[in-house]
Amino acid sequence: MSRELNLTLKVWRQDGPDAPGRFDTIAAPGINDEMSFLEMLDLVNERLIAEGQEAIVFDHDCREGICGTCSLMIDGQAHGPQKGTATCQLHMRKFDDGAEVTIEPWRATAFPVIKDLMVDRSAFDRIVEAGGFITAETGGAPDANMTPIPKPVADSAMDAAACIGCGACVAACPNSAAQLFTSAKVGHLNLLPQGQAERYQRVEAMVDTMEELFGSCTNHGECEEACPKEISIDFIALMNKDYLAAKFKNRKLLSRK
Amino acid sequence: MTINLDAKIPDGPIDEKWTNYKFEHKLVNPANRRKYEVIVVGTGLAGGAAAATLGEQGYRVKAFTFHDSPRRAHSIAAQGGINAAKNYKGDGDSIWRLFYDTVKGGDFRSREANVYRLAEESVNIIDQMTAQGVPFAREYGGLLDNRSFGGAQVSRTFYARGQTGQQLLLGAYQQLARQIGLGNVELHNRTELVDIVVVDGRAAGIVVRDLVTGEVTSHSAHAVVLATGGYSNVFFLSTNAMACNVTAAWRAHRRGAAFANPCYTQIHPTCIPQSDDFQSKLTLMSESLRNDGRIWVPKDPDDNRSPDQIPEDQRDYYLERRYPSFGNLAPRDIASRAALVEVSKGHGVGPLKNGVYLDFGEAIGRLGQKVIEERYGNLFEMYERITDESPYKVPMRIYPAPHYTMGGLWVDYELMTTVPGLYCAGEANFSDHGANRLGASALMQGLADGYFVLPATISNYLAPLLGTKPVPTDHPEFQAAEAAARDRFAGYLSIGGTRSPDSFHMELGKIMLEHCGMERTKQSLEKALSEIPGLHAEFRKDLRVTGDGESTNQTLEKAGRVDDFFELAQVMCLDALTREESCGGHFRAEHQTDEGEAERDDENFAHVAAWEWTGDPAQPARHVESLEFDNVHLAVRSYK
């Protein structure tokens, strides 16, 4: 059933944030196609260590497509060729024997390379810190069934909340914009009744922080295409609408002070 | 150092203990809280919730994670749900019933008072998380939906599609992010704990290594909280994330924190079977699938027909046969062992004959594909991505895999370890699940500890310290611990042997899975204990870590973690060897009934075994905290 693949990897190696990078060509023979892409890299790393060379640094953790730690541009596509799939769940059966596979880190100014294929995505955390929460300190919550939420609303909020914060949307965007990530968090919270009190402050603070750190959106739609959770760009439209409204509403709130 | 295993359980009837405790313990006035510093290590459900809540309360908190962001913690991978005694379904649930189910599910090896408190707080968790915007599944009327889970006969599990852990963790992460934005919590990401510092018998702080620069530094505080998860990765192949490790708990253990019940490990019944030898991790399929999936194997071990060609009367629905009242929803330990029995008898299915079927054919026929898709769509997709088979068409193949560890650092009722000022929360402690954890209870415990228990109990320790300053990090104890950590990592780099850390880890994992896994015997455990020290010695002699210690080096990180797994593995085997009974996830083949069920020995083993570090990993000292059952009648656990 399973095949063996002989691959040639072109891997981006970079010794540190300020070091110049390069592509290393690494042969990867005898790859069982039942393996996941990251298991293939594990094996390549074991072989590199056996040769006395330094292993390729890459971010990964849960290997179930949920933690959002893994990344990688594979042949120019964020998370590789399989739609709606994070790199950790991509399997080698999607590759042909003899293929040359190019592996790069996320490329974005807001995501500086730390080493090899590992980048710093903490700019995403800055956006969430700016307003990606509902202020509900521990202790004072009312009964969970006090506010019924229509199922379609809860479902839409969940669609947005499914974002894993991997950064593929930014990496795929020609402008390195973070609209899809930001709108997913804004959409999740702004759709829910619990999120209404801070709705307009939230969207303004998050979008303004995003604009400071990332590029601008010009509606390419590459983000949705690359998203391993297939989050819809409709959330960007919702965010834009709320952002526009916020510019008026928040000014009114200011004038009442 | 002497170990004091006083659990400090409050007086009074069980349903008043927590309330009494909260009234009687010492508080810190809100204006004084900013004078205290607290370190929280780990940012999963327990750590993230604790850091956020302590920040909200006004303490100065430093949070540490080895991930790039707090949102990556492995709590995120929990799929099925979170239990709470809300009784929203009106099917007879109550705090008392959740308490009883949890004690029984843990095979009567947990502390009654802790479990009762957990059941009490469960209802607050759902309220809190809903207020924070966790999009739990809803009915059409807008109220919260529930489903049932193994080991319970009521529907008390709240869920957010098949990604409940993700949504709860993001909830906690958002609260933490808010506190970071407000400046109440200082976050140190990509920073790994490498030692705990104890000064004058109290936890004084931690030593950490920056995973980007390799720099080793110290941080001190009035109290230290470890919420660093479990140790299933000692088995190499487990459902845990790749980076999960025991180092923080183990370093604390070496500094005086007792390690309790290390042999209580949970093997989850529904994981995707291993497909090849290079596999580095196993993927869990949520237990919730057992609500609608039926587990079976062909009656004839040589039946190689495809599953749809095997007629009903030639299938053995062995869980339904052996446990008619719980059927496919039998608790995890029981379901796992039953699968092991079938596979060892040769009834296994799949190319490597290493799985059993989990079949949705009947449910799809009864409910339609649309309903099944709504309930489990993302799990089915994930299964298909990994195996290239669609569970809508052919039954899933599943097999048990190490998943959760009930054992962990010993803590008292206040979640304090045997080192004053050092706390432990979530999976990293041993407290609430006894010898087996029920499904959907890990999220509950992590959040109860982090949001409600720890923030309430820590003030009892901090209050008398008013006016004191944390020990300065230039104290000789810190300097010595830093130097030892630098030497340790430089040591790995300088061995210059031939084998990678992973190759040792894989070999250790095989020993543990074979000899200290789902079924243990005196002989197998003694064999493991005779093999591990030799392999550890070889590790110290023949390890090869390439690269250097001055930039990100994942091989070096792994070496430190594997080194600690070697020591932990020994105490796990010793604990399993000395516990001459079968209970929950600990199944000693010598102790079983005629029907092959676990046989407890309440007379001699109704206790917690807490191990003390003596300097020699092969010779730790065993201490005992006896368990009193005043509210639950000790019974043979039956799910028949």
Strand order in the sheet with B607-612: B408-409, B259-260, B607-612, B621-626
The three-state secondary structure class of B42 is coil
Instruction: Give the pLDDT score at B38.
Output: 98
For residue B101, the Cα-to-chain-centroid distance in whole angstroms is 19
Burial class (CB in 10 A: 0-12, 13-18, 19+), B327: middle
The residue written with tokens 């709320």 in the block is A242
Query: Do residues A250 and A127 share a domain?
Result: yes
CATH number of the domain where residue A67 is located: 3.10.20.30
Instruction: Give the pLDDT score at B256.
Output: 97
- Note whether A46 contacts B502, CB cutoff 8 Å: yes
Euclidean distance between CA atoms B268 and B355, whole angstroms: 13
What ranges in A10-150 are assigned the alpha helix state H? 37-50, 122-131
Which residues fall within 8 angstroms of residue A161, CB to CB, at 6 or more apart?
Answer: A184, A188, B135, B160, B167, B170
The residue written with tokens 């929950």 in the block is B584
Give residue A1's pLDDT band: very low, low, confident or very high (50, 70, 90).
Answer: low
Look at residue B274 and tell me whether its pLDDT is greater than 70: yes
Look at residue B610 and tell me whether its pLDDT is greater than 60: yes
Look at residue A257 and tell me whether its pLDDT is greater than 70: no
pLDDT in tens, B183-207: 999 999 999 999 999 999 999 999 9
- Note whether B241 contacts A145, CB cutoff 8 Å: no
A18 touching chain B per CB within 8 A: no
Which of A66, A90, A115 marks a domain boundary?
A115
What are the backbone dihedrals phi and psi of residue A53, each rounded to the nearest 5 degrees, phi first?
-100, 165
Query: Do residues A148 and A185 share a domain?
Result: yes
Look at residue B85 and tell me whether its pLDDT is greater than 90: yes
Query: Which residue among B174, B242, B553 places its CB closest to the CB of A63?
Result: B242
* Chain mean pLDDT for chain A: 96
Query: Do residues A134 and A108 share a domain?
Result: no
Instruction: Give the pLDDT score at A253.
Output: 76
3-class SS shares of chain A: helix, strand, coil, % to 5: 40, 15, 45
* B:323-362 residues touching chain A, CB 8 A cutoff: 351
Pick the residue from chain A with its C-alpha nearest to B166. Answer: A66
Euclidean distance between CA atoms A253 and A246, whole angstroms: 10
Which of A81, A115, A149 marks a domain boundary?
A115
Q: Is B332 a catalytic residue?
A: yes
Look at residue A252 and tell me whether its pLDDT is greater than 80: no
pLDDT in tens, B561-575: 999 999 999 999 999
Euclidean distance between CA atoms B220 and B422, whole angstroms: 12
Which of A96, A115, A134 marks a domain boundary?
A115
B132 touching chain A per CB within 8 A: yes
Instruction: Give the pLDDT score at B377.
Output: 86
Instruction: Give the pLDDT score at B254.
Output: 98
Amino acid of residue B197 = V
Euclidean distance between CA atoms B13 and B22, whole angstroms: 14
Instruction: Give the pLDDT score at B279.
Output: 86
* Chain mean pLDDT for chain B: 96
Query: Do residues A36 and A160 share a domain?
Result: no
Q: Are B264 and B436 in contact (CB under 8 A)?
A: yes
Euclidean distance between CA atoms A173 and B117, whole angstroms: 49
ipTM score = 0.97
For residue A54, the Cα-to-chain-centroid distance in whole angstroms is 27
- Note whether B132 contacts A136, CB cutoff 8 Å: yes
Query: Do residues A141 and A75 share a domain?
Result: no
Query: Which residue among B67, B127, B284 places its CB closest to the CB of A144?
Result: B127
Question: How many separate domains does chain A show?
Answer: 2
Q: Establish how many alpha carbons lie within 13 A of residue B541's alpha carbon, considering only the half-sphere containing its beta carbon.
A: 6
Structural domains of chain B, ranges and CATH numbers in brackets = 269-402 (3.90.700.10), 476-605 (1.20.58.100)
Give residue B92's pLDDT band: very low, low, confident or very high (50, 70, 90).
Answer: very high
Q: Are A86 and A164 in contact (CB under 8 A)?
A: yes
A99 touching chain B per CB within 8 A: no
Query: Which residue among B124, B281, B546 places its CB closest to the CB of A55?
Result: B546
Strand partners, B569: none
Euclidean distance between CA atoms A54 and A71, whole angstroms: 20
Residues of B in contact with A36 (CB under 8 A): 386
Query: Do residues A37 and A72 share a domain?
Result: yes
Euclidean distance between CA atoms A194 and A142, whole angstroms: 11
pLDDT in tens, A225-235: 999 999 999 99
Which residues fall within 8 angstroms of residue B199, CB to CB, at 6 or more apart?
Answer: B471, B475, B477
**In Å, what is the CA distance from B416 to each residue of B9, B425, B611?**
12, 9, 16
Euclidean distance between CA atoms B133 and A141, whole angstroms: 11
Query: Which residue among B170, B385, B503 places its CB closest to the CB of A85?
Result: B385
Percent of chain B with pLDDT over 90: 91
- Note whether B552 contacts A115, CB cutoff 8 Å: yes
Residues of B in contact with A82 (CB under 8 A): 385
**In Å, what is the CA distance from B33 to each residue of A117, B22, B202, B471, B473?**
42, 18, 20, 18, 21
The residue written with tokens 């955390």 in the block is A125
Look at residue B154 and tell me whether its pLDDT is greater than 90: yes
Instruction: Give the pLDDT score at B1.
Output: 52
Strand partners, A79: none
- Note whether B177 contacts A63, CB cutoff 8 Å: no
Query: Do residues A50 and A88 share a domain?
Result: yes
Domain enclosing residue A94, as ranges: 4-115
CATH number of the domain where residue A159 is located: 1.10.1060.10
Element (H, E) at B362: helix B361-367
pLDDT in tens, A45-87: 999 999 999 999 999 999 999 999 999 999 999 999 999 999 9
The three-state secondary structure class of A254 is helix
Q: Are B81 and B440 in contact (CB under 8 A)?
A: yes
- Note whether B71 contacts A165, CB cutoff 8 Å: yes
Instruction: Give the pLDDT score at A192.
Output: 98
Pick the residue from chain A with its C-alpha nearest to B551. Answer: A16
Query: Do residues A167 and A88 share a domain?
Result: no
- Note whether B135 contacts A154, CB cutoff 8 Å: yes
B500 touching chain A per CB within 8 A: yes
Give residue B332's pLDDT band: very low, low, confident or very high (50, 70, 90).
Answer: confident
Query: Do residues A95 and A203 share a domain?
Result: no
Query: Do residues A27 and A110 share a domain?
Result: yes
Query: Do residues A165 and A72 share a domain?
Result: no
Instruction: Give mean pLDDT, residues A134-151.
Output: 96
Query: Do residues A247 and A190 share a domain?
Result: yes
Instruction: Give mean pLDDT, residues B366-372.
Output: 94
Look at residue A39 and tell me whether its pLDDT is greater than 60: yes
pLDDT in tens, A159-198: 999 999 999 999 999 999 999 999 999 999 999 999 999 9
Q: How many residues does chain B have?
A: 640
